[in-house]
Amino acid sequence: MPRIPVQPSPMASPKSFLWTRRIFLTLLLLFVLTPVYVMLSSSLKKLQDVQGSFQWLPNGITFRPYVDIWKTVPLGHYFMNSLIVSVSATLFSVIIAIFAAYGVSRYRFPGRQFFTVTVLSTQMFPGILFLLPLFLIFVNIGNSTGIQLYGSRLGLIITYLTFSLPFSIWMLVGYFDSIPRDLDEAAKVDGCGPFGALFRVVVPAAIPGIVAVCVYAFMTAWGEVLFASVMTNDSTRTLAVGLRGYASQNDVYWNQVMAASLVVSVPVVAGFLLLQRYLVAGLTAGAVK
Amino acid sequence: MTATAPPRSAPEAGPSDGKSVGRGRLRPRVPDRLRRVGVPYLMLFPALILELLIHLVPMIVGIVISFKGLTQFFIRDWGSAPWTGLDNYRMAVKFNQPVGEALLHSFWVTVLFTLLSVGFSWLIGTAAAILMQDAFRGRAVLRAIFLVPYALPVYAAVITWAFMFQQDTGLVNHVLHDQLHVTSNKPFWLIGDNSFWALVIVSVWKSWPFAFLCLMAGLQNIPRELYEAAAMDGAGIWQQIRKITLPSLRPVNQVLVLVLFLWTFNDFNTPFVLFGNSAPHSADLISIHIYQSSFITWNFGSGSAMSVLLLLFLLVVTAFYLLFTRKRDVDA
Amino acid sequence: MRTSSTSSRLLAATALVAALGLTLSACGGGDDDNGSSGSKGKSSSGGTLTYWASNQGTSLDNDKQVLTPELAKFTQQTGIKVKLEVIPWSDLLNRILAAATSGQGPDVLNIGNTWSASLQATGALLPFDDATFAKIGGKDKFAPASIAAAGAAGKDPAAVPLYSMAYGLYYNKKMFADAGIANPPKTWDELVADGKKLTTGGHYGLAVEGGNGSENIHHAFVLAKQRGSDWFDASGKATFDTPNNVAAVKQYVDFIAKDKIAAKGNAEYAQNQTITDFATGKAAMMMWQSAATSIKSHGMNPDQYGVVPVPTQQAGATGDAGVTSMVAGINLAVFKNSKNIDGALKFVNFMTSDAEQKTLNSTYGSLPPVKAAQSDPAFQTPDLKTLASVLGSSAAPLPQVPNEAQFETLVGTAVKDLFADAAAGKDVTTDSVKAALSKAQQQMPAS
């Protein structure tokens, strides 16, 4: 990633700037990390302790919640569901977005504007408006074709991929626009068709943008609650909905909720942080232009 | 078989393109030009068909439902629900009647919430991005940490906040009341008037890193020569920020603010996890309000009508926003 | 040359797109197998039933452990397999909605008994007429109060009772003794007076679940009933803001607002913190349904507390004035679209058999709505005997109207907001209660 050393003169960073930076960033750090700390510390407390007054330091540390979470609800199973759904949705969303973005970026054709506007405008649809209709449509498709979309992972995959599609297309259009057209023209001269040019030249050049889109699409799918709560059943339930199972008829197992939240978050956060440099780069060249 | 697909798909995909598209059976001799015309449509086809299936068609069904009295008496066969014309809409916009009044209240709460949340997210994001533009020790670590709220699954993050906001046993009151003694009583955060602020705080916490991310990317696009030239002219860092950085971020901001606005306005997950099915009066966001009207009380006709009104509002706002920001681009 | 190369690439790409489509549907096929709940009924004919159980135990897993051996017995007796899905309360209503809308659902399911009339109105549940009842051992095997909470009056019930519960007043014996109170309160005045004595030094007389809309309406219902008042008139029209209903809600909110015998923090309780407070001695009394198991799980022994009927306005009141509880409980319903109604009814019969009623209700700490099972020694503990007598003589069902869900949401939320006002130190007056209830009433659909 390109660095921008903006240190042309000693004047550039006066004391006031440095102190502003220190204070502001410290406060921000506290704001950001407090919930993370609470999640961690509470997950190591006993149930009585999390139900009592808050304490910064646990009275005694127990790893019990980390054992119990797998039993209280079938967390492992939900985890697999979320993984399958999110990965598939991401994969398809990105492939479809690559095609669409390439079409929009490289061709001038009647309906181009219409397409862009239509797809982007779906971003403003309140989910609540089409939840029930979508559900009805899925059921009808199931009844008439035998393809079960309601209650299946496939239904969720298709739904989620369309959630991330508009923004993905838009981000990739920006990225593709920044790749010189001469490159794919050259590839075409070499005998590649449009798809050859896309996959041999444009896609490799756009990897940071594509990774950024992957990350975005994955996270959109991973955290969704509303549609998952209506469209899944016991065997296809995803984590976001499954976590609610820790609040039972009798009790909320706060320590387990926190432990499970942490377990669920760690892989995503780790992956995200590993890929964040791409995300910045992808946004830099693409969307932000 | 497959080879005939592209030209066939073209007329479906392209709305205003009757003349150039050939019949499928001419396939063996389609001119090169024609195939080139088909290609972009082919590329758009999967995206378009999915958006149609998942967004547009259901939305149209939703609009149809909004003209029906779809209650639990009819959900087994929604087609049989009686047509009620504009009744659902009339009910929703009678602002002197409780239903309309509640909707209007919820609308204003949402507007205020969105303005505050987007405003603060943008402000914090901008400040952090600018302050972290220069290299300093620990910058990379700090940046990674700052992105954590964005990376955390919504449910996990918000439930933790709910835990922290508990009146009796939460961290927030522990700090405010027990440790800093700022308040004489432990205030409530999840019920009553403060719940609005709780919601804003959680929302800002969750969305400012996105602003930060975009703006950081935007900053990297600013040519450093601009800064050097400014420094040469004797501009200090604050002046550089005001004269160069902020104006250069305009295009990023245009998109960022719009996206944040739409996401925040339609946000369902945050209030739902924080408050459950029924939000407190002061934090009754429109998404929860409509959810309650449709899914808790099973009156989908009226819920759909409210959603349609919401959609119209968002369309108008977005259109104005784009017109306005674009015009300013031209002027500038 | 170039043209053909282009077209072959085009072909390849199209194939890719087609393959993508194939993968999608292949993926769907895979899901179909492990994702189906047997609900499509294809498999039901072969002798499988899908059963949606609500979360009654300490966790979803606990429910599975309790139910699985029982279901195995059923399979052994009848050869019908049962596929069990335990559904958290947060999802149950939405799932039932989805099932009703799509016609694809379980064969047998649990519903909260207060939902009976609402769900009955959808027509998705099999009505229990006399012929149907005959297949499960007749209507008379159930306690009449529980049957009354299984559907609108004058219609065939949409479900049969499975687990019954009733509200009782739980009190901490030691705290009462320490405060010099000899007997638990019989009237509300006594309760408030005792509560004030018990409210000292961080301890409170009473705990209420103020942030929980359903709890709120259960108490509002009883308090109104004791004043001879209902929330719906005979034609099913909402009558929320009658003076008696206003007084009932005000009395309930006043526990925090005026009497101050409940902690302000209770206004926020929505996750059964009431039980925690009671079991840990933070509160000396609570009004709850069948709490024995939960109290025990918090480490309080049965001999440390007593259970008596919830107070009335006057001691020894009878009739409506003597109502001390709603009829609480879980009903068992058969999904009309089930492809195996006979099997489903066999299962209902099994679940409402004496043996299963004893096993399940004693495990969950609830009462058997099946009369023959009630005399079992498992239900002769002092607290369960109290609750059983409440259920038998002084419990009334919540209004069995199709709009019950709206009632629960609107009034429940209104009371919740009133509690929030009280907790924030704002005045809760007859006028403010009336205004809140009028508003709720006007938001009710006309029918």
Q: pLDDT digits over C315-346, tens only?
A: 988 899 999 999 999 999 999 999 999 999 99
Residue C49 contacts residue C108 (beta carbons within 8 Å): yes
Residues C187 and C223 in one domain: yes
Q: Is the dihedral of CA C360, C361, C365, C366 positive or negative?
A: positive
- Tokens 């080139």, residue located: B36
Identify the residue among C6, C20, C31 best suited for mutation to test binding to A, counting A beta carbons within 10 A and taking the highest: C31
Residues C423 and C286 in one domain: yes
Q: What pLDDT was estimated at residue C342?
A: 94
Is C24 contained in some domain?
no
Rounded Cα distance between B55 and A74, Å, is: 32
**Does the beta-carbon distance from C294 to A245 stay under 8 Å?**
no
Is C116 contained in some domain?
yes
Q: Which of A95, A116, A241 is nearest to C89 (CA)?
A: A241
Nearest to C31 among A136, A154, A248 (CB): A154
Rounded Cα distance between B132 and B212, Å, is: 10
Residues C154 and C177 in one domain: no
- Tokens 């239904």, residue located: A155
Identify the residue among C16, C59, C89 best suited for mutation to test binding to A, counting A beta carbons within 10 A and taking the highest: C59
Q: What pLDDT was estimated at residue A109?
A: 87
DSSP annotation of C150 reads S
**Cα-flanking dihedrals φ and ψ of residue C238, to 5°?**
-70, 135
Is C299 contained in some domain?
yes
Residues C173 and C235 in one domain: yes
Rounded Cα distance between A272 and A279, Å, is: 9
Restricting to C residues 58-117, those with a Cβ less than 8 Å away from any Cβ of B are 93-94, 97, 100-101, 103
Q: What pLDDT was estimated at residue A82?
A: 93
Per-residue pLDDT at B272 exceeds 60: yes
B175 min Cα distance to partner chain C (Å): 17
B78 min Cα distance to partner chain C (Å): 8
Residues C172 and C150 in one domain: no
Mean pLDDT, range B80-84, rounded to an integer: 87
| The pairing of beta strand C167-172 with beta strand C305-308 | antiparallel
Chain B, nearest residue to A26 by Cα: B142
**Cα-flanking dihedrals φ and ψ of residue A123, to 5°?**
-60, -25
Residues 6+ apart with CB under 8 A from C336: C123, C124, C125, C126
Mean pLDDT, range A234-254, rounded to an integer: 81
Topology annotation, domain A71-285: MetI-like fold (1.10.3720)
Is C343 contained in some domain?
yes
Residue B167 contacts residue B188 (beta carbons within 8 Å): yes
In chain B, residues with a C-beta closer than 8 Å to the C-beta of A12 are: 134, 231, 236-237, 240
Per-residue pLDDT at B332 exceeds 80: no
Residues 6+ apart with CB under 8 A from B192: B280, B282, C267, C420, C421, C423, C424
In chain A, residues with a C-beta closer than 8 Å to the C-beta of B304 are: 129, 132
Domain ranges of chain A: 71-285
Q: What pLDDT was estimated at residue C293?
A: 84
Q: Which of C91, C129, C123, C138 is nearest to C110 (CA)?
A: C91
Give the tokens for residue C217. 């309406």
Rounded Cα distance between B292 and B277, Å, is: 7
pLDDT tens, position by position, A67-89: 989 888 888 999 999 999 999 99
**Residue C113 maps to which CATH number?**
3.40.190.10
Residues C341 and C308 in one domain: no
Which chains are adjacent to chain C, needing at least 3 Cβ pairs under 8 Å? A, B
Rounded Cα distance between C86 and C82, Å, is: 12
pLDDT tens, position by position, C398-425: 999 988 888 988 899 999 999 999 998 8
Is C303 contained in some domain?
yes
Is C12 contained in some domain?
no
In chain C, residues with a C-beta closer than 8 Å to the C-beta of A132 are: 101
CA dihedral B41, B42, B43, B48 (to 10 degrees): 70
Band (pLDDT 50/70/90 cuts) for residue B35 is low
- Tokens 């199931």, residue located: A142
**Does the beta-carbon distance from C28 to A149 stay under 8 Å?**
yes
**Does the beta-carbon distance from B296 to C409 stay under 8 Å?**
yes
Band (pLDDT 50/70/90 cuts) for residue B196 is very high
Residues C231 and C313 in one domain: yes
Per-residue pLDDT at B299 exceeds 80: yes
CA dihedral C405, C406, C408, C413 (to 10 degrees): 140
In chain A, residues with a C-beta closer than 8 Å to the C-beta of C85 are: 233-234
C282 min Cα distance to partner chain A (Å): 11
What are residue C285's DSSP bridge partners?
C171, C206
Q: What pLDDT was estimated at residue B328?
A: 60
Integer angstrom CA distances of residue C438 from A94, B293, C238: 52, 18, 10
Rounded Cα distance between C415 and C408, Å, is: 10
In the three-class reduction of DSSP (H, G, I as helix; E, B as strand; rest coil), residue C226 is classed as coil
Q: Which stretches in chain C have pLDDT values below 70?
A: 1-46, 446-447
Residues C255 and C392 in one domain: no
Q: What pLDDT was estimated at residue C35?
A: 35
**Strand ranges across the sheet with C160-165:** C81-87, C48-54, C108-112, C328-334, C160-165
Is C153 contained in some domain?
yes
- Lowest mean pLDDT across A13-22, B45-54, B169-178: A13-22
Domain count, chain C: 2
| Domain architecture of chain B: domains with CATH | 2-65 (no CATH), 87-331 (1.10.3720.10)
Give the tokens for residue C183. 């007997």
Q: What pLDDT was estimated at residue C54?
A: 94
Band (pLDDT 50/70/90 cuts) for residue A234 is confident
Domain that holds residue C273: 167-326+403-442
pTM of the predicted protein model: 0.85
Nearest to C100 among B76, B99, B168 (CB): B76
Residues C228 and C141 in one domain: no
Nearest to A280 among B155, B217, B236 (CB): B217
Per-residue pLDDT at B107 exceeds 50: yes
Band (pLDDT 50/70/90 cuts) for residue A2 is very low
Residues C312 and C175 in one domain: yes
In chain B, residues with a C-beta closer than 8 Å to the C-beta of C6 are: 32, 35
Integer angstrom CA distances of residue B47 from A99, B189, C71, C359: 8, 43, 47, 55
Residues C182 and C273 in one domain: yes
Half-sphere exposure of B118 (CA within 13 A, CB side): 21
Residue C437 near chain B (CB below 8 Å): no
Residue C14 near chain B (CB below 8 Å): yes
Buried b (16+ CB within 10 A) or exposed e, A86-121: bbbbbbbbbbbbbbbbbbbbbbebbbbeebbebbbb
Q: What pLDDT was estimated at residue B271?
A: 93
B to C CB pairs, distance under 8 Å: 118
What are residue C206's DSSP bridge partners?
C262, C285
Burial of C233 (0-12, 13-18, 19+ CB in 10 A): exposed
Look up the ipTM and state it. 0.86
Maximum separation of any 2 CA atoms in chain A, in Å: 73
In the three-class reduction of DSSP (H, G, I as helix; E, B as strand; rest coil), residue C85 is classed as strand
Q: Which element (helix H / strand E) includes C308?
A: strand C305-308
3-state secondary structure A171-236: HHHHHHHCCCHHHHHHHHHCCCCHHHHHHHHHHHHCHHHHHHHHHHHHHHHHHCCHHHHHHCCCCC
Band (pLDDT 50/70/90 cuts) for residue B79 is confident
Residues C226 and C280 in one domain: yes
Per-residue pLDDT at B213 exceeds 50: yes
Give the tokens for residue C303. 């001999």
Long-range CB contact pairs, C6-11, < 8 A, 24+: C6/A193, C6/A194, C6/B32, C6/B35, C7/A193, C7/B3, C7/B35, C9/A192, C9/A193, C9/A194, C9/A195, C9/A196, C10/A193, C10/A194, C10/A195, C10/B3, C10/B6, C10/B35, C10/B39, C11/B2, C11/B3
